[in-house]
Amino acid sequence: MSEGGRRMGILDGKVVVIVGGTSGLGLSAVRACTGAGARVVATGRDASKAGAVEAMFAGNVRGWVGDACEAGSAEGAMGVAMEAWGRLDALYHVAGGSGRRHGDGPLHALTEEGWDKTLDWNLRSVFLSNRAAVRVFREQGCGGVVLNCGSVLGCSPSPRHFTTHAYAASKAAIVGLTRSAAATYAAEGIRFNVVAPGLVATPMSARAQSDEAIVRFIRAKQPLDGGRMGRPEDLDGAVTWLLSDASRFVTGQVIAVDGGWTVSEGLTEGGA
């Protein structure tokens, strides 16, 4: 379908804020959303990356520099959207991180610093962005969409290779927050969902990508497409659909994009 000779996309005319949109999964989502017709504010902590993303997309993207864990950062990004395009239609929260270097690990060894850092990055930041979005949507009075990025580790543990219990707790908590909010705001037309990736090759998963035992494990644990780690673009179809009106009757759901992780044993010939 076209309008004035222009092909219409699934997000045509929508305004989306992507928190954590300057690298990895977020940058791939920026590319997919703009390709589907959206205008995007992409946030990140690195000014050079934010500027590069803005320059990459010919007026359809604004970069915003801010720490997702700080109150006011999400509001600032949404203010940019309002100033540039007059409204906000959707939020996709991707920002987060591993607290392994700060002491995240198995419960008996998990440090207070590891716990605090991991929950700040992966849960406090989600709370702040989701709260900011809901306030804008309610003020606009015409509904909206919140999509949070979780992880299969929030519901499908891997005790041999991925024993970071603060990370798993933070991703499980995202599901609880998202579903509770979905129930509360459905009558106002505000939808909340979670996309839960398996292991994806991004800068955050560099440790796993370089570990041959994990690579072998993933061949069995994520058996789709020959058995491999995910790529950022593997999530893009689900993300654009969940942000769009095509999913207008979907809320409170967790969509796993995991190559089969949650339905596979992950056993290799050697039992690893």
Closest CA to 40 of 94, 69, 6, 78: 78
Long-range contacts of 67-71 (CB under 8 A, 24+ apart): 68/19, 68/20, 68/43, 68/93, 68/95, 68/121, 68/125, 68/128, 68/129, 69/120, 69/121, 69/124, 69/125, 69/128, 70/128, 71/128
Q: Which residues pair with 82 in a beta bridge?
A: none
Q: Does domain 2-203+231-263 have CATH number 3.40.50.720?
A: yes
Q: What is the mean pLDDT of residues 255-261?
A: 98
Q: Where are the beta strands (DSSP E) in the chain?
A: 2-3, 6-7, 15-19, 39-44, 61-65, 90-93, 144-149, 190-197, 254-257
Q: What is the mean pLDDT of residues 241-255?
A: 98
Token duo for residue 68 = 């997702």
What is the value of pTM for the model shown? Answer: 0.94
Instruction: For residues 200 and 37, give the distance between their C-alpha atoms in angstroms, rounded to a whole number.
Output: 25
Report residue 4's pLDDT band, with 50, 70 and 90 as the boundaries. Answer: very low
Least confident of 3-7, 77-81, 207-211: 3-7
Name the residue with tokens 């129930």: 183
Q: What is the pLDDT of residues 113-163, one digit of tens each?
A: 999 999 999 999 999 999 999 999 999 999 999 999 999 999 999 999 999
Q: Domain residue spans in the chain? A: 2-203+231-263
Active-site residue, selected from the candidate residues 64, 167, 185, 241: 167
Task: Look at residue 203 in the predicted model and tell me its pLDDT.
Answer: 79
Token duo for residue 261 = 């992780």
Q: Please confirm, yes or no, whether 167 is among the known catalytic residues.
A: yes
Task: Look at residue 7 in the predicted model and tell me its pLDDT.
Answer: 63
Instruction: For residues 36 and 178, give the distance between their C-alpha atoms in angstroms, rounded to a whole number.
Output: 25
Instruction: For residues 10 and 92, give the distance between their C-alpha atoms in angstroms, rounded to a whole number.
Output: 16
Q: What is the pLDDT of residues 54-104, one digit of tens each?
A: 999 989 999 999 999 999 999 999 999 999 999 999 999 999 999 999 999
Q: Which amino acid is at 254?
A: V
